Amino acid sequence: MKLLLQPLAVRIFHWVMFFAVTYLVITGLYLHDPWGGLSYGLVRKTHSIAGIILMLNLLGQIYYYIVTGKYTEVLFTPRDIANLRSFFRYSLFITENHPNYGRYNPGQKALITTWGLAILLSGLAALPHLLPEYASWLSRPLGGLMGSRIIFYAVTMFFLATIPLHLYLVFTEDPAKLQAMFSGYIQKEPKGLDDGE
């Protein structure tokens, strides 16, 4: 039996974020220390476009989850703290009992929430670079342009450190759920049936 796990909007948000973050990390590292013969100006322009796309994608996600009322499925809340013990016990293979947390486990929700905050922070840090005529007063709360560059670097390192963690959580939760991020559906056996029937 097929069960819709990831609606089309969620899949679009996920893959836009994947490609935008991947492109931003690669081009951001290039802009910091250029190699090869790529046009610096073109890379910088497409880097800015990818950043705008990522920010619009995040705003679209926020709107979607508020309108559908499903924000509790992705937002790490104080009630998720109580589930952390059982989550860590299962994720670290201490226990075989798979707790049912709903669509996402507390670890995935913590990552989704912190990624959203990291994207918002990098969006604020990007404003002085996107609006150079206002750069001096836009960058002042961030510690100047160097402060905004430090934020970009920290956010980049944060994503590079947590993406493998995200993949680990996906595969320890239920690898079959990975297919749902492509097709939207997961194969689910009806309750009460086993292979012998």
List pLDDT tens digits, range 131-171.
888 888 888 888 888 999 899 999 999 999 999 988 887 88
- Which residues share a beta bridge with 186? 3
Residue count (the chain): 197
Report, as an integer, the average pLDDT of 71-79: 92
pLDDT digits over 88-110, tens only?
A: 888 888 888 878 888 888 988 99
Indicate whether 74 pLDDT > 80. yes
- Percentage of residues of the chain with pLDDT beyond 90: 53
Q: Does 187 map to a domain? A: no
CATH number at residue 110: 1.20.950.20
CB-facing half-sphere around the CA of 92: CA atoms within 13 A: 7
- For 49-70, what is the mean pLDDT? 96
Residue 186 φ/ψ, nearest 5 degrees: -130, 145
**Overall number of domains in the chain:** 1
In contact, 89 and 106? CB cutoff 8 Å: no
Radius of gyration of the chain (CA): 20
Residue 186 lies in a domain: no
* 97: containing domain: 2-161+169-180
